[in-house]
Amino acid sequence: MSIHPIEERYGRKEVRRIFEEENKLQRILDVEAALARAHASVGNIPRKAADEISRKAKTEHLRISRVKEIESEIQHDVMAVVKALAEQCGNSGKYVHLGATSNDITDTALALQLKEFFNFLLDDLEKLKKVLLNLAEVHKDTVCIGRTHGQHSIPTTYGLKFAIFATEIQRHIDRLDDSKERILVGQMTGAVGTQAAFGKNGLKIQELVMEDLGLGKVMVSNQIIQRDRHAEFLLNLALISESLNKFATEIRNLQRTEIAEVAEGFKKMQVGSSTMPHKMNPIYAERICGLSRVIKSNAIASLDNIPLWHERDLTNSSCERIIIPESCILTDYILNLSIDLFKNLVFDFDAIEKNLNLSQGRIMSESVMISLVEKGMGRQEAHELLRRLAIESYNKKVTFRDVLVKDSRVKKYLSEKEIDSALDPKKYLGTAMEQVEMILRELG
């Protein structure tokens, strides 16, 4: 019976598979096999023994049920794998796990799992970036009202909004690429990190194991890989999730009935409410925002895993069994929700135009101010004049144009034609379109 929603509601099966018991066991076996081959390479064990261990270090030979049976007796998960593998290897079984401590195996196996996940994560980010760049291109000249403090400010474009989102995703890609060498590492250092049980070839054995597995190696460690690496990874996932939270929150706000400029796509048979038939709720965006909270909270927990007692303790272990798979699966999930969300956005251009004109032209006060300054009025004087006229327009519920064309101080500097030009939102976009085109060139 499912307990965690990841098991039946959230997450893609191909990503869940990375963290399922069988794949985790296989990664542990991969590390044990690589260790045996390294021992054989430096002459510590017979090559035939390493070959036998490598052949049998497969879940087709070693069943999870047997591992659990042993663990129930000895109360140690890694030693249960060691015993189960040794059973399968006959006389060669005496060389399984030679010189290693548990975290040599589990931390290195985790790095293999994260290496698998990185491929999905980076692919997700690239796909989302592509969708956002496409929206930026399509809507580079879709003029809309900009909002600051929740209030109408000056015109902007949807293209610029999506270009900003795309560059944020690119920064996450850059962070992940930069962090790979710190996160995708393994260790083979033995108890407390001295490599004493490996003898004179300890450093060589570690090097051989990591080369075999395609991982980087720690420069130095104690009994575990230091948890600042894992915290960095989960903090990166939290940063990604908070960006998605931000993007989804923007869509939720723009979908509000009072704004209604943009909305999630709504399927033909989709139901919005169990009691209100008219409802069309932003369920993808709300799910993204909700799950981002879990990912963020897990990152906070990962910081508490950094300070462990002396050469190690186990307080990180139980926590990480939950937070790492959960954060990875949920981050991938909300990334894919975001891809679908932005692929299927619905724009209401009438609402966009209506909102652009909602303030009766007052959003163009800065534009008029700049025009007055260009004609010779002082900037401070122009600002104060337009502040007063904007308030007059608001209080009297008349258009800003009506107030402007009647004001003698404005008319001294600007003709009606110049006032109309200054009040045109499409003429006050600065370099917005140029910036979008630059982002398309650089990131496309």
The residue ranges of every structural domain in the chain are 12-95, 102-183+225-354, 362-422
Contacts of 321 (CB under 8 A, 6+ apart): none
In the predicted model, is pLDDT for residue 341 greater than 60?
yes
Question: 149 catalytic, yes or no?
Answer: yes
Q: What is the pLDDT of residue 181?
A: 95
Q: What is the pLDDT of residue 5?
A: 83
- Burial 47-69, CB ≥16 within 10 A → b, else e: eebbebbbebbebeebeeebbee
Q: What is the pLDDT of residue 2?
A: 76
In the predicted model, is pLDDT for residue 274 greater than 80?
no
Q: Identify the active-site residue in 4, 76, 153, 273.
A: 273
- Condensed to tens digits (0 to 9), the pLDDT of residues 355-412 reads 999 999 999 999 999 999 999 999 999 999 999 999 999 999 999 999 999 999 999 9
Q: Identify the active-site residue in 2, 65, 149, 278.
A: 149
Residues 414, 401: Cα–Cα separation, whole Å: 12
- Condensed to tens digits (0 to 9), the pLDDT of residues 366-376 reads 999 999 999 99
Q: What is the pLDDT of residue 279?
A: 64
Helix (H, G, I), strand (E, B) or coil at 261: coil
Average pLDDT score over the chain: 95
The reply to whether the predicted model has a pTM over 0.85 is yes
Q: What is the pLDDT of residue 69?
A: 96
- Condensed to tens digits (0 to 9), the pLDDT of residues 231-254 reads 999 999 999 999 999 999 999 999
In the predicted model, is pLDDT for residue 268 greater than 70?
no
Count of other CB atoms within 10 angstroms of residue 434: 11
For tokens 């200054």, name the residue: 422
Q: What is the pLDDT of residue 374?
A: 96
In the predicted model, is pLDDT for residue 58 greater than 70?
yes
Instruction: Return the DSSP state at 302.
Output: H
CA distances from 440 to 8, 42, 130 (A): 38, 53, 10
Q: What is the pLDDT of residue 282?
A: 83
CATH annotation of 362-422: 1.10.40.30
Question: 273 catalytic, yes or no?
Answer: yes
Residues 194, 360: Cα–Cα separation, whole Å: 74
- CATH topology for 102-183+225-354 is Fumarase C; Chain A, domain 2 (1.20.200)
In the predicted model, is pLDDT for residue 278 greater than 80?
no
Q: CATH second-level architecture of 12-95?
A: Orthogonal Bundle (1.10)
Residues 59, 295: Cα–Cα separation, whole Å: 31
Mean pLDDT of 96-116: 97
Q: What is the pLDDT of residue 251?
A: 96
CA proximity to 156, closest of 438, 433, 381: 433
Residue 65 binned pLDDT confidence (cut-offs 50, 70, 90): very high
Mean pLDDT of 106-129: 98
